[in-house]
Amino acid sequence: MALKYFQLLFSVTIFFLVSSNIGLATRHAPDYKNLHSPFEFIKHLEGCHKGNKSKEIQLLKNYLQRFGYLDLDQAHADDDIFDDALEAAVKTYQSNFHINPTGILDVSTVSKMVVSRCGVPDIFKGMNSMRADREKHDSGSAVHVVSHYSFFPNSPRWPPTKTHLTYNILPDTPSNAVGPVRRAFNKWASATHFTFSQVQGNQGADLVIGFFRLDHGDGHEFDGPGGTLAHAFAPTTGRFDYDADEPWVDGMVTGAFDLETVAIHEIGHLLGLGHSSIEGAIMYPSIPDGVTKNLHEDDIRGIRALYNV
Ligand SMILES: *[C@@H]1O[C@H](CO)[C@@H](O)[C@H](O)[C@H]1NC(C)=O
Ligand SMILES: [Zn+2]
Ligand SMILES: [Zn+2]
């Protein structure tokens, strides 16, 4: 009981320190998640900085390229040296995730990077829509509100008259996923101007949800257990794929990922939202195992801004 209380107090304290941007040297042992995930190699890079050289640095470059932070087409970028380009990419990552942008792979940076996440990049062709320092002050609001939602480049969205979208859950979907996906659509429906209905088979659904493994033909392969959990495409493609290799579950279970939480996130992409730098937002890029989340006011403000409603 006393321990629980202390943990709560500790969490609350850390929350306030982090949210008020007070620099604080982390003294507790790092709590690394997903020890057997494809992101595990990042742990071995703790303390690395410009000038370091190792095989894992090349893997880190691939990781940062995959999520939009690094352009490996630049000459000599794809090698094992911690160069200027990598340092710049690490700084951008740090500012997106509200970490002091030192360019050094410190404990806080590694702790964020190893968490399982969505496969959709945070940055598209150098356009960092997630940028934490670009604050959006919503006008018309009585209170001062800072938002961190984002859109895909050129803000693709469903036509204004198309507020009802149909979805098809592919036939080989595990049966325990159907309920969570439906609930996820219901959550978006109750918070926005959209309505959704499920259709079967070849009825030309606007949105299609399925489970896929590794390379599944859309140019964005999955990576086995851990690492990326799912991805979805901007309007009006309408595809949302779960990584079938994850330990999926309906609810809050340590070592497993909540189907509904991930569905709410990916539906956000289907509607046109990019990633948010607010950790409480459903559109935050990463989600640890054993955690459930719901729509956040930042997500809802994002949809209202995108559709002007
Ligand atoms: C990184 O380089 C420093 C010297 O600048 C060295 O002391 C350190 O061991 C290197 N770290 C790794 C992980 O290679
Ligand atoms: Zn995402
Ligand atoms: Zn896919």
pLDDT tens for each residue of 211-257: 999 999 999 999 999 999 999 999 999 999 999 999 999 999 999 99
Query: What pLDDT band is residue 201 in, cutting at 50, 70 and 90?
Result: confident
Q: How far is residue 198's CA from residue 309's CA, in Å, rounded to a whole number?
A: 24
Neighbours of 252 (CB within 10 A): 12
Query: What pLDDT band is residue 29 in, cutting at 50, 70 and 90?
Result: very low
pLDDT at 128: 83
Tell the residue nearest (CA) to atom 4 of ligand 1.
52
Tokens describing residue 168: 């098809």
Mean pLDDT check: name the lowest of 7-11, 101-105, 208-212: 7-11
Q: Using CB atoms within 10 Å of the CB of residue 134, give its burial: 0 to 12 exposed, 13 to 18 middle, 19+ buried.
A: exposed
Q: Exactly one of 56, 87, 221, 266 is catalytic; which is it?
A: 266
Task: Looking at the CA of 53, name the nearest ligand.
Answer: 1
Query: What pLDDT band is residue 77 in, cutting at 50, 70 and 90?
Result: low
Q: 116 CA to middle of ligand 2, Å?
A: 11
Q: How far is residue 201's CA from residue 129's CA, in Å, rounded to a whole number?
A: 36
Domain ranges in the chain are: 39-114, 164-307
Ligand 1 nearest atom to the CA of residue 46, by list position: 13
Task: Looking at the CA of 222, name the nearest ligand.
Answer: 3
Task: Determine the length of the chain.
Answer: 309
Mean pLDDT, the chain, rounded, equals: 87
pLDDT at 24: 36
Asked about 266 being catalytic, the answer comes back as: yes
Helices (H), 20-114: 55-66, 84-96, 107-113
pLDDT at 203: 78
For 164-307, which CATH superfamily applies? Collagenase (Catalytic Domain) (3.40.390.10)
Pocket of ligand 1 (CB under 6 A): 47-48, 51-52, 54
Whether pLDDT at 107 is above 50: yes
Q: 56 CA to middle of ligand 3, Å?
A: 26
Query: What pLDDT band is residue 127 in, cutting at 50, 70 and 90?
Result: confident
Whether pLDDT at 161 is above 70: yes
Select from 48, 59, 110 the residue to mutate for testing ligand 1; criterion: most ligand atoms less than 8 Å from CB.
Answer: 48
Query: What pLDDT band is residue 5 in, cutting at 50, 70 and 90?
Result: very low
Task: Looking at the CA of 299, name the nearest ligand.
Answer: 2
Ligand 1 nearest atom to the CA of residue 45, by list position: 13
> What's the topology of domain 39-114?
Muramoyl-pentapeptide Carboxypeptidase; domain 1 (1.10.101)
pLDDT at 28: 40
Query: What pLDDT band is residue 71 in, cutting at 50, 70 and 90?
Result: confident
